[in-house]
Amino acid sequence: MSNLSEAISYLSDLVEKVLEESISQSDFSDLTQQQFHYLQVIVRMKNPNLTELAGELGITKPTVTVLVDKLVEKGYVSRVKSDEDRRTMHLHINKKGARINALREVAYNRMAEKIKSGLSETETAIFTELLKKLVKHS
């Protein structure tokens, strides 16, 4: 790795690989990585409607509708009519989808172990502080 861009690319690939492994070994093995990501966004947004989700993901409403249909079909999400505007549907995470946070923690812990296995205790502490600084200034 000769530059920062390559290092970031490598780290990103490693994160994707760990996430894919975690998904394939979990109850979420019927999800693609993209569907898993979208489900994470829905969890984070806390009951968005389709328009809000499309805006957050930067995709069209028809595209997000197809995506949501698949998540509903697989039992991760349900559509619930809004109390304020009965024409609007909000997305609610089902029990099956709510377990996504636990899987995310498993994936993050696996990633941390992979990183720690290649670093000394001091390097791990420095790396952790650098990541915190990056997040703070992003």
**Statement: the pTM of the whole predicted model exceeds 0.75:** no
Domain ranges of the chain: 1-28+100-138, 35-98
Going from the C-alpha of 20 to that of each of 78, 105, 111, the distances in angstroms are: 24, 14, 12
Check pLDDT > 70 for residue 2: no
What digits encode the pLDDT tens for the residues 90-127? 999 998 888 877 787 888 888 899 889 999 999 999 99
CB distance 64 to 45 below 8 Å: no
CATH of domain 35-98: 1.10.10.10
Size of the chain in residues: 138
How many angstroms separate the CA atoms of 25 and 135, rounded?
29
Residue 132: band (very low, low, confident or very high) from pLDDT cuts 50, 70, 90: very high
What digits encode the pLDDT tens for the residues 61-97? 999 999 999 999 999 999 998 777 777 889 999 988 8
